[in-house]
Structure 1
Amino acid sequence: MRTALIGLDYIVDIMHPAGKIARCAPQATERKIVARFNAAKEFAREAGWLTVVVKVGFEAGYRDQPKHSPLFGRADECGALVLGGPGTSFHPDLRVDADDIVIAKPRVSAFYGTRLQQTLSASGVERVVLCGVSTGMAVQSTARDAHDRDYRVVIAEDACAAPTPAEHDASLRTLSQIATITTTEALADLT
């Protein structure tokens, strides 16, 4: 089955200790999610899977920022999530290769306002394996969207993080209704 490994929001502003809105940084560091995603990418490459890395951000000047959003509405006030700026750079430990597909998204779901659907369709992808931050936002939103687009959805939970372990676990309980929950080490069981 044609599969895509998708990493969500492994960017400085969201999950690095130097990030401007990095509520997930402590859990991301403690759970070693970047190293686990890097290992998952190596496996995916060997298995012939498509590899995609996604980042959230807004154009300079924040013209595409949803000002009313409780999540994104104040990003401009602290200078967070500017595409092309240091905050939307991928985490320094994340290995982004030349053949990875890089997608910028303007909202929570990786499908919203992006070319992700077209990219997956053009590549014949039937299953997506999601990793990223935060489990309760980008991972959950993208998983729901992928499910409703008839993809088989898998979450590699050990390459995901939320601000707290309780939030992470609650999201996984919800996601288990529409996705297979696994670990990066068990990805070989999918082939």
Structure 2
Amino acid sequence: MIDAFEDHCWQDVVPAETLELYRHYKRPIGVGPRAALLAIDLYELAYQGGPLPVAEVSRTYPSSCGENAHRAIEPTRRLFAAARAAGLPILYTTGDTRPDSKPTLIRATKRQGLRSDPSVFAIRPEFAPMPGDVVITKQRASAFFGTPLIAHLTLLGVQTVIVCGESTSGCVRASTTDGYSYGFHMVMAEECCFDRSMLSHKLSLFDLHHKYADVMHTDDIVSHLDSLALKEAV
């Protein structure tokens, strides 16, 4: 029987013998104090082609997460609403589209045909930044690498970072491990993270949950934030 610590989306891809190997990582999980919401790359590029299978939309939009991205919209809207009601700082990342800002000699991971049109790096309207939110542009996978994110979090007195966005195996993973390395309590909203590959998504969440972050169901995070909002209202 799967216990609450392992009651997540990876159950159908991680065998029982592997779960047994990771038993010593089991611990209480939860949202820590002084939290902020970090939204990783919720830009139009990830949603292109609509809520169709990724294999279908990728023929025209190779960077789209298709139905996986669109499935995450509603839980992410609820997470944003709860975070705003609780008064959490909200920070976003998006791509740096300046033509002369990136080194040109890196070849090993250079994706072919990646567009730098600024319009596709605009934040999705459902999650549009509001006055007081922080939007950070980045050139690499991690939200922390070469950006002022750590300075913003420090000045805001943040101790816990709640992460949502894409892709789970790429920018979300890199940002979460860096956040852990900087000493933040990292929380990942499971249903609000997404990827082109469901296998990569599930295995990345599994790895992160057992080593660097508390992967939590969005409903549980929202319930916690709702309780904070009620305390603020009293």
TM-score bin, normalised by smaller chain: 0.7 to 0.9
| Structure 1 residues 35 and 62: alpha-carbon distance in aligned structure 2, compared to 1, 3 A threshold | farther
- Output aligned runs, 1:1-191, within 5 Å: 1-17=33-49, 20-29=61-70, 31=71, 33-59=72-98, 61-71=99-109, 73-74=110-111, 78=113, 80-82=115-117, 85-176=118-209, 177-187=211-221, 188-189=223-224
* Letter of the structure 1 residue corresponding to residue 217 of structure 2: T
Residue 80 of structure 2 contacts residue 127 of structure 2 at CA under 8 Å; is this kept in 1? no
* Letter of the structure 1 residue corresponding to residue 48 of structure 2: H
Which SS does the other structure have where 1:98 is aligned? coil
Greater displacement, 14-23 / 42-51: 14-23
Shift of 1:166: 1.2
Residue 66 of structure 2 contacts residue 196 of structure 2 at CA under 8 Å; is this kept in 1? yes
Residue 135 of structure 1 contacts residue 168 of structure 1 at CA under 8 Å; is this kept in 2? yes
Q: Larger Rg: 1 or 2?
A: 2
**More helix, by proportion:** 2
- Supply the distance in 2 between the matched residues of 1:14 and 1:62 (Cα, whole angstroms): 23
Structure 1 gaps, min length 5: none
Which SS does the other structure have where 2:38 is aligned? strand
- Supply the distance in 1 between the matched residues of 2:115 and 2:105 (Cα, whole angstroms): 13
- Supply the distance in 1 between the matched residues of 2:102 and 2:96 (Cα, whole angstroms): 9
1:1-56 Cα offsets, whole Å, 9 max, x none, are 21110110111223332785424223112x2x233222211111121211111112
After superposition, the CA RMSD in angstroms is: 2.1
When normalised by structure 2's length, the TM-score is 0.71
Residue 13 of structure 1 contacts residue 21 of structure 1 at CA under 8 Å; is this kept in 2? no
| Structure 1 residues 161 and 121: alpha-carbon distance in aligned structure 2, compared to 1, 3 A threshold | same
- Supply the distance in 2 between the matched residues of 1:165 and 1:98 (Cα, whole angstroms): 34
Residue 13 of structure 1 contacts residue 81 of structure 1 at CA under 8 Å; is this kept in 2? no
- Supply the distance in 2 between the matched residues of 1:43 and 1:183 (Cα, whole angstroms): 14
| Structure 1 residues 144 and 5: alpha-carbon distance in aligned structure 2, compared to 1, 3 A threshold | same
**More strand, by proportion:** 1
Structure 2 gaps, min length 5: 1-32, 51-59, 229-234
Shift of 1:66: 4.8
1:48-72 Cα offsets, whole Å, 9 max, x none, are 211111112331x24414542444x
- Supply the distance in 2 between the matched residues of 1:161 and 1:69 (Cα, whole angstroms): 26
Shift of 1:165: 1.5
Which SS does the other structure have where 2:219 is aligned? coil
When normalised by structure 1's length, the TM-score is 0.86
* Letter of the structure 1 residue corresponding to residue 129 of structure 2: V
* Letter of the structure 2 residue corresponding to residue 80 of structure 1: R
- Supply the distance in 2 between the matched residues of 1:35 and 1:69 (Cα, whole angstroms): 37
